[in-house]
């Protein structure tokens, strides 16, 4: 199976399955000298681990990370950083029944057709637990970038029909509710909506939003390494994500050139933009404004409600999926979205270091 790696210089390779012995990641390209410990990683993993509210799977996992290589005496060595999280609460017998049929909304059919084999225990590589490695790698990227003044604010923008009200936006509220919404009223309404989903044996989708500040001008390249294109690939690689937009996104298609263009102005002696319809990018490069994007996340496909499908013998059947599943993925996906964004920005920043000869010359003259 190809395609388990992402990035050019800051390169991430994830491995492991939901019901295997463990999952992990190898991160190449981490600069030497970055202060790093397991607690730095654990803080991020705790944001995605299961069993933290009634709106997530009841599967209980500590998701305790171990750093196996690449760190010595509290600092990165410049060699690959390898990390592992051991699975401890698998219940593979919950999935034995699904070996004979294809679950709607899952990758079962495609796995069988492509590989002639599939790990039906929780989805194998297509399970949401695959994102553990992404989050661990993203934690390193965030720490590296935060030292350069680059900050990430990621949250749930909407759940089902409930969307946050910009007037009520409060960044401090994000960690005060299990849905990671920056609007207490919206979080309450979303909780009530999810209660109805649970009662009807159903699930819900939603939208995550990420705002990145402190970015320099010029990250990304204007053709095949556009920063917005790479972000789109990174975010769309998350299993449940079905849509991506940056800035005004699809609303830009309804605008005119005059209303969509961001006028340049001088602010505090520097070139700035009066508005930010572009979402912080121009020509595939960061423009110094806040970079704002959204990810649309589908409803959890594993639901207890009766659904129609076919089995491997080609027979029509009705199923009700058993097991421990999230009625909504969005809150746990927030940190995954942030992690993939941070990995992409870290990679772009390292690639950007060779963009200008004068800066390369200045750097080596100091050696």
Binding-site residue numbers are: 48, 54, 125-127, 283, 298-302, 324
Nearest CA among 185, 180, 115 for reference residue 153: 180
Residue 266 DSSP SS3:
strand
Helix pair 227-236, 330-352: axis angle to 10 deg? 150
The pair of three-digit structure tokens given for residue 255, joined into one six-digit string: 């605008």
Binding-site positions for FMN: 125-127, 283, 298-302, 324
Nearest CA among 237, 239, 247 for reference residue 294: 247
Binding-site positions for NADP(+): 48, 54
Helix pair 330-352, 131-146: axis angle to 10 deg? 50
Contact 341, 238 (CB under 8 A): no
Query: In this structure, what are the phi and psi dihedrals at residue 299, rounded to the nearest 5 degrees?
Result: -65, 150
Helix pair 330-352, 38-48: axis angle to 10 deg? 140
The pair of three-digit structure tokens given for residue 355, joined into one six-digit string: 């963009």
Question: HEC states along 233-262?
Answer: HHHHCCCCEEEEEECCHHHHHHCCHHHHCC
Q: What are the residue ranges of helices labelled H in the chain?
A: 38-48, 108-115, 131-146, 184-199, 227-236, 257-260, 330-352, 357-365
Nearest CA among 55, 25, 313 for reference residue 160: 55
Contact 347, 7 (CB under 8 A): yes
Label residue 265 exposed, middle or buried (CB < 10 Å: 0-12, 13-18, 19+): exposed
């Amino acid at each position: 199976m190809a395609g388990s790696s992402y990035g050019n210089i800051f390169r991430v390779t994830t491995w492991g399955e939901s019901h295997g012995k463990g999952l992990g990641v190898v991160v190449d390209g981490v600069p030497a000298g970055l202060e790093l410990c397991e607690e730095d990683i654990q803080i991020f993993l705790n944001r995605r681990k299961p069993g933290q509210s009634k709106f997530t799977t009841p599967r209980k996992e500590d998701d305790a990370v171990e750093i196996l290589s690449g760190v010595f005496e509290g600092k990165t060595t410049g060699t690959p950083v390898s990390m592992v999280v051991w699975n401890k609460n698998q219940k593979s017998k919950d999935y034995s029944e699904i070996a004979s049929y294809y679950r709607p909304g899952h990758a079962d059919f495609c796995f069988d057709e492509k590989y002639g084999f599939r790990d039906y225990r929780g989805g194998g590589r297509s399970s949401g637990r695959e994102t553990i490695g992404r989050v661990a790698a993203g934690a390193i990227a965030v720490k590296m970038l935060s030292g350069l003044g680059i900050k990430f604010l990621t949250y749930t923008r909407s759940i089902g029909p409930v969307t946050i009200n910009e007037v009520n936006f409060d960044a401090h509220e994000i960690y005060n509710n299990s849905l990671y919404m920056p609007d207490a009223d919206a979080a309450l309404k979303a909780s009530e909506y999810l209660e109805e989903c649970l009662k009807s044996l159903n699930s819900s989708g939603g939208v995550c939003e990420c705002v990145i500040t402190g970015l320099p001008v010029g990250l990304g390249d204007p053709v095949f390494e556009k920063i917005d294109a790479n972000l789109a690939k990174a975010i769309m690689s998350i299993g449940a994500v079905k849509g991506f937009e940056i800035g005004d996104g699809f609303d830009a298609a309804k605008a005119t050139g005059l209303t969509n263009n961001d006028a340049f102005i001088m602010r505090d002696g520097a070139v700035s933009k009066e508005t930010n319809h572009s979402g912080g990018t121009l020509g595939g490069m960061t423009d110094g404004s806040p970079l704002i994007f959204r990810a649309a996340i589908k409803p959890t496909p594993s639901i207890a409600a009766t659904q129609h499908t076919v089995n491997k013998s080609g027979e029509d059947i009705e199923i009700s999926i058993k097991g421990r599943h999230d009625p909504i993925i969005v809150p746990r996906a927030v940190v995954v979205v942030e992690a993939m964004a941070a990995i992409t920005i870290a990679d772009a920043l390292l690639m950007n270091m060779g963009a200008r000869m004068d800066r390369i010359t200045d750097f080596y003259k100091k050696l």
